[in-house]
Amino acid sequence: MRHLQQFYIDGEWVDPIGDRRLAVIDPSTQEPIGEVALGDARDADRAVAAARRAFASFAASRIEERVALLHRLLDAYLARYDEMADVIMREIGAPKKLAHAWQAGLGKRHIEETLRTVERFQWQRMKGSTLINHEPVGVAALITPWNWPINQIVCKVAPALAAGCTVVLKPSEVSPMNAVLFAEMVDAVGVPRGVFNLVNGDGPTVGAALSAHPDVDMVSFTGSTRAGVEIAKLAAPTVKRVHQELGGKSANILLDDADFDAAVTAGVNACFSNSGQSCNAPTRMLVPASRHDEAVDIAVRAARQHRVGPADAPGTTMGPVVSDVQFERVQRMIEIGMSEGAALVAGGPGRPEGLARGYYVKPTVFANVNPSMTIAREEIFGPVLAIMPYRDEEEAVAIANDTPYGLAAYVQSKDQERARRVAMRMRAGSVYVNHPAWDPGSPFGGYKQSGNGREYGEWGLEAFLEVKGIVGYGA
């Protein structure tokens, strides 16, 4: 990849001002697969200045021009789709099938959903004699994570460009290669100079500089709640818009009439997907106390069906976690679960047998987990499931909502109406009833410490728009 040690600023690939570099590690092997340049505040300043210069003309462009731009970007994405899947497989350890069908696939689907949204969006409307007009927010800083990297890049960049914003993207330094590839696509389709800018770097330097920058009008951040708090503090003095999708500890309620073979197995697989590194993963499985042991037996069988191994190995269903830092955190949380008295029924500490190199974690299941235990309250971000018994539906809802997070929740029942009633009581931004198909047009974001604002569909577009009322316009 030619541009890994450069930034894309003002329509050109440029060298960084400083000389910091960081190895990009393949988590399947612990070997470096590249080296990325790390920027600093001076690089952030250059990118923001370019975005600011470009804003007035791009904001005034016709929506038809921006739609045509997104169509060209979709074509460019499809032309390099397999390359994108391969890059993500290598830099985050996503199994080949997952990387191709979902990791890369979500980037495509977000561009398509943005195009559908723009076609039906009402940019102007009259309310009495007042004109309601939607206008771009301005310069948007986009700070994205490593776990679903191109998903989070595209679900921000596509609606931001559709809205008429100019952007500065800072992807995770852990998985920067997909972002560089995406920037090459943007460059190839003729995005006007300064409209899209890419600066690689870490959070405390480039992320902090963008969050505090007086010429940035909005920060859209996806990542940990801890980092989200710091970004909000840095953004506060300039009163810029802060849009955040943060952590989660999602409950999966299996009601007593659920098909337990299907529901438990689906819940285990959803928890372990992407090696458990999803903010909306159903990591707390709530089951009736009377069926707890039955659920545990099914969960153990499902966990043992997973084949842990290198991302590119045939048959791998679970790759490594992304880094040594993440590996050590997951190991520590497993040890805490054991020390606090949760029943370890599958997996446990250490690497799976035969995998001495790579950040591999055993698919782990704890049973009889108490709601006060650390593994029931803190986000682990690894393949660790906590099975929790409840007495009745009221207690299930109470346990599910007893969390500082509120990103997602899951409900399983053969009685659709009953599942709907429970779903309405969940304090979460997204509730999934009986493991439905993924919907790119559903709002995504959380209650409480899981963030503020929503992404995807019209909510993702509106996040990058100001609303202006021109009173007397129609008088």
**Dihedral over Cα of 415, 418, 424, 429: its sign:** negative
Entry pTM? 0.97
Residues β-bridged to residue 31? 26
Write down the pLDDT at residue 1: 64
Q: Per-residue pLDDT for the chain (475 aa), expressed as one digit of tens each?
A: 679 999 999 999 999 999 999 999 999 999 999 999 999 999 999 999 999 999 999 999 999 999 999 999 999 999 999 999 999 999 999 999 999 999 999 999 999 999 999 999 999 999 999 999 999 999 999 999 999 999 999 999 999 999 999 999 999 999 999 999 999 999 999 999 999 999 999 999 999 999 999 999 999 999 999 999 999 999 999 999 999 999 999 999 999 999 999 999 999 999 999 999 999 999 999 999 999 999 999 999 999 999 999 999 999 999 999 999 999 999 999 999 999 999 999 999 999 999 999 999 999 999 999 999 999 999 999 999 999 999 999 999 999 999 999 999 999 999 999 999 999 999 999 999 999 999 999 999 999 999 999 999 999 999 999 999 999 999 8
Locate the domains of the chain by residue range.
Answer: 7-246+450-470, 251-439
- Identify the pLDDT of residue 387: 98
Catalytic annotation present for 279: yes
> What's the one-letter identity of residue 346?
A
Q: State the Cα–Cα distance between residues 150 and 168, nearest whole angstrom.
A: 15
Q: Which two tokens stand for residue 156?
A: 């921000």
Choosing from 155, 165, 271, 279, the catalytic residue is 279
Check if the beta carbon of residue 201 is closer than 8 Å to that of residue 40.
Answer: yes
Enumerate long-range contacts of 101-109, CB under 8 Å, 24 or more apart.
103/148, 103/149, 103/150, 103/151, 104/150, 106/148, 106/150, 106/151, 106/154, 106/155, 106/440, 107/77, 107/150, 107/151, 107/153, 107/154, 107/182, 108/74, 108/77, 108/78, 108/81, 109/440
Token pair recorded at residue 81:
């789709």
Is the domain spanning 7-246+450-470 CATH 3.40.605.10? The answer is: yes
Catalytic residue among 113, 173, 184, 245: 245
Output the pLDDT for position 282.
98
**What is the gyration radius of the CA atoms in the chain, in angstroms?**
23
Q: Which homologous superfamily is 251-439 in?
A: Aldehyde Dehydrogenase; Chain A, domain 2 (3.40.309.10)
CA 351, CA 306: separation in Å to the nearest integer? 14
Burial of 424 per CB tally in 10 Å (0-12, 13-18, 19+): exposed
Strands 447-448, 405-406: parallel, antiparallel or unpaired by DSSP? antiparallel
251-439: same fold as 7-246+450-470?
no
